[in-house]
Chains A and B, each alone.
Chain A
Amino acid sequence: MGLLQGSISYARFFVRGDLPDNHFDSFTEALRLRALRPLTVDDEDDLRAGWCNVANPADLELDAEKLFLDSYLNVGLRIDRWVIPGPLFKAHFGEAERAYLLKRKKERLSKREKEELKKEVSRRLRNHVVPVSKAIDLSWHLDTGIVRFWSSAASAIEHLEVLFQDTFHLELVPESPYTTAARLDLPESVLTAIQMLQPAVYHNAA
């Protein structure tokens, strides 16, 4: 969604740093290495983020043809999460707790025991559900260094920033009034003046 159809709401970033000389090859390899690894029942992690084919989030076999379109690099950020429905968890945990207490002739669980039992029940219930998957489109115009990311959610952006840095060893700078101004090719004197500006006061309102 986003790149080809649907609503156009995105967060914009600027890439700080130079592209490596052989970026088509090195980026393709880096993206392949950090493609999403689907969650398994036995994973410690509840959540995992990785790259996917922007045209088909189920496709994790990335190659240059799927990634590059002229001077654009288009890729999906996929975030998979184990989500156990609350009522289902509550019912199974209740049952597991009763069995545990009966077996050990205890009246209540300690904090540690409760945490361990929760993990065990969650892991068991993973066999009955499928990870919730969300894919967010990303388009990077390599010539201008502008990245458009089809989500403004803070949590998604956090995943993006970490994964982008790990993959490309380049920094993403979020768009803001200042960063946009800095990219406008303004005279140095104007940029310096912008850095010194204080908020205007209209009406001197109380």
Chain B
Amino acid sequence: MDLAHLIEGKRFLGREFLVWLWYESEQRDGRFVLGDGSVLDLALEGAITLDAGPKAKEQSKLRGMAPSATPEAREALRQGKLPAFAKLRVERGENVFSFAFSADRFALSGIRIPAVVKDESEERFFERMVLLEQIEGLITALYREFLLLRTSDAWQTQGVTAVERWSGDEGQSSGRVTEPPRRKRAAA
């Protein structure tokens, strides 16, 4: 299979990765331990968009403090919609990052990095690059963990069945106080 086919044909992995992050962040109360033993905290917050694929006409766009923890989000998952886009917050040590993640493109956007203190342009550039590379590295480390599960025999139980059970539990949330989500549906 040539590269172009692989790129297009495997875009679903971005969405499944987002499902996994969503599910695992709730199961682990946001705390992930990476392969090198280091720790980060991750939460989906602010916005999540779910649909049945790039060509789907109907989307569930949820906003609020923790839209992914709402019954509406779980319902969308039960309807076969997967998250195409979500806002994430990652804390690693003293550094806090927030950004939007587009699953099909595996792209980060609107990245807020910890405040850059350097004034001089060269130092400023390096500081920004170090921070960007840090957040990219954290996301790819998580993606690696996901892919190892995804290609293992444990995927069906730990990946699919576990998510089905979790999203089938109506009304359950992480226990955090949430605002009612502002929901926007794109009509067919």
Residues on A close to B: CB < 8 A? 3-5, 7-12, 55, 69-70, 72, 74, 139, 141, 148, 152, 173-181, 184, 186, 190, 193-195, 197, 199-203, 205-206
Contacts and interface: CB of A to CB of B under 8 A. Distances in A.
Interface in B1-18: 1, 3, 6-7, 9-14, 16-17
12 contacts: A4-B124, A175-B105, A176-B7, A179-B7, A181-B147, A190-B147, A190-B148, A197-B151, A201-B160, A202-B80, A203-B78, A206-B80
Contact of A202 (B110, B143, B150, B160): B160
Nearest to A12: B107
Contacts of B168: 203
A190 B151 contact: yes
Given A194-B10, A195-B6, A197-B151, A180 B111 contact: no
B89 interface: no
A200 B17 CA distance: 11
A151 to B, nearest CB: 11
A165 to B, nearest CB: 15
Contact of A176 (B16, B19, B106, B147): B106
A186 B150 CA distance: 13
Contacts of B12: 177, 199-200
A8 to B, nearest CB: 4
Interface of B: 1, 3, 6-7, 9-14, 16-17, 19, 77-80, 82, 99, 103-113, 121-122, 124-126, 128-129, 132, 136, 140, 143-144, 147-148, 150-151, 155, 159-160, 163-164, 167-168
Contact of B19 (A69, A74, A202): A202
Contacts of B136: 12
B150 to A, nearest CB: 7
Contacts of B107: 11-12, 152, 175
A139 B103 CA distance: 23
Given A9-B109, A9-B111, A197-B13, A202 B164 contact: yes
Contacts of A197: 10, 13, 150-151
B83 to A, nearest CB: 11
Contacts of A148: 132
Given A4-B125, A152-B107, A184-B140, A200 B7 contact: no
B144 to A, nearest CB: 5
A139 B159 CA distance: 37
Contacts of B78: 203, 205
A150 to B, nearest CB: 11
Nearest to B141: A184
Contact of A194 (B106, B122, B147): B147
Contacts of B99: 8
Contacts of B77: 202-203
A200 B143 contact: no
B160 A200 contact: yes
Contacts of B9: 178
Given A3-B128, A12-B107, A197-B151, A176 B1 contact: no
B10 A177 contact: yes
B113 to A, nearest CB: 7
